[in-house]
């Protein structure tokens, strides 16, 4: 009987051409699928929680696949991970409920954008691959005022770059928090789903407010305009990281199997990574 396997993944997106498999290009999905297929010895389709763009990182990306392999789900982490390069890691693997789908089952996810806010370049902290450098003064209080206008269910067309056609541009943002950690400003955006480049465009808009070029309430006008040209620029991919994805706990309970299936009959618990929202 085929089983559904959950993977928790982290990667440095700098040298990947995004998540989605593309002919002739190194992508996260492509590299992982190749490694998994060598382990389970049959073709698989790896489903990700979302498609991160080229240069975007992940500390808690989630993927799932179906396999007829008899290998226990919790033993696949090492077998798959040992075949990967240093910029990609499988943090956890487990058999889950057959209804688990990395994309469709997701309840919410959090993206973090990091801004190195200092006169010196981020290379001084060895974070140049993971943070955007802004050396100009930023008013974080003004940015926080502006960020409140992003919270809620609304049309985010003004924050969406052109991409694949979508049925609706209405999305729900559950939180948008801005904090300083020494020389780094972190913008955490928590939502049920995002449009293409939505978070990077939101950050670009907040940066205009922080630099004093726009008033915080101008964000309302931008959103109401539904016009991408009125919003801030698309921020570089290097500062963006998918931190975690949350799922219903019930989907982490694997079906019980006979002992001769060589699989554990104990229900799987919700990974700590998904207990944050």
Is residue 274 within 8 A of residue 246, CB to CB? The reply is yes
CA 74 to each of CA 15, 39, 84, 142, 207: distance values in angstroms, whole numbers, following the listed order: 28, 13, 17, 46, 43
Q: pLDDT grade, residue 73 (50/70/90)?
A: confident
Predicted local confidence at residue 258, as pLDDT: 57
Nearest by Cα to 257 from 100, 97, 76, 102? 97
Percent of the chain with pLDDT over 70: 92
| Sequence ranges of the domains in the chain | 3-105, 108-242
pLDDT at 125: 86
For the residues of 40-77, what is the DSSP string, one character each?
A: HSS----EESS-PPTT-EEEEEEEEEEE---S-GGGHH
pLDDT at 273 over 70: no
Q: Right CATH number for 108-242 from 3.30.70.660, 3.40.50.2300, 3.90.230.10, 3.40.190.10? A: 3.30.70.660
Kindly name the residue from 53, 99, 139, 183 that is annotated as catalytic.
53
The domains spanning 3-105 and 108-242 adopt the same CATH topology: yes
Residue 257: pLDDT band (50, 70, 90) is low
Which pLDDT value is given to residue 254?
A: 87
Task: Judge contact between 48 and 16, C-beta under 8 A.
Answer: no
Q: What is the pLDDT of residue 175?
A: 98
3-105 in CATH: which number?
3.30.70.580
Model pLDDT for residues 175-186, shown as the tens digit of each residue? 999 999 999 999
Residue 165 has pLDDT above 80, yes or no: no
Mean pLDDT throughout 58-71? 96
Question: How many residues are there in the chain?
Answer: 277
Q: Which of 68-77, 124-133, 232-241, 263-272 has the lowest mean pLDDT?
A: 263-272
pLDDT tens sequence across 190-207 = 999 999 999 999 999 999
Residue with tokens 């004093």: 212
Whole-angstrom Cα distance, residue 62 to residue 7? 6
| In the predicted structure, residue 134 carries a pLDDT above the cut 90 | yes
Q: How far apart are CA 54 and CA 128, in angstroms?
A: 16
Active site (annotated) includes residue 53: yes
> What is the C-alpha separation between 149 and 175, in angstroms, rounded?
10
């Amino acid at each position: 009987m085929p089983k559904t396997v959950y993977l928790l993944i982290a990667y440095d997106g700098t040298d990947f051409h995004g998540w989605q498999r593309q002919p002739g290009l190194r992508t996260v999905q492509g590299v992982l699928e190749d490694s998994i297929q060598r382990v389970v010895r049959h073709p698989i389709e790896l489903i990700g929680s979302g498609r991160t763009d080229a240069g975007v990182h992940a500390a808690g990306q989630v993927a799932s696949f179906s396999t007829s392999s008899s290998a226990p789900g919790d033993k696949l982490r090492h077998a798959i991970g040992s075949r990967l390069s240093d910029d990609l890691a499988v943090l956890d693997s487990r058999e889950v409920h057959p209804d688990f789908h990395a994309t469709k089952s997701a309840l919410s996810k959090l993206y973090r954008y990091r801004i190195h806010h200092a006169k010196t370049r981020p290379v001084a902290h060895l974070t140049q691959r993971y943070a955007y450098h802004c050396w100009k003064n930023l008013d974080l209080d003004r940015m926080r005022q502006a960020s409140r206008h992003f919270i809620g269910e609304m049309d985010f067309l003004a924050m969406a770059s052109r991409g694949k056609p979508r049925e609706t541009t209405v999305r729900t943002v559950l939180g948008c928090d801005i904090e300083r950690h020494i020389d780094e400003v972190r913008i955490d955006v928590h939502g049920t789903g995002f449009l293409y480049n939505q978070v990077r465009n939101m950050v670009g808009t907040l940066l205009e407010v922080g630099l004093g070029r726009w008033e915080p309430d101008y964000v309302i006008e931008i959103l109401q305009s539904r016009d991408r040209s009125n919003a801030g620029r698309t921020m570089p991919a290097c500062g963006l990281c998918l931190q975690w994805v949350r799922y219903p706990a019930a989907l982490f309970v694997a079906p019980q199997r006979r002992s001769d299936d060589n699989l554990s009959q104990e229900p799987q618990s919700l990974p700590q990574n998904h207990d944050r929202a």
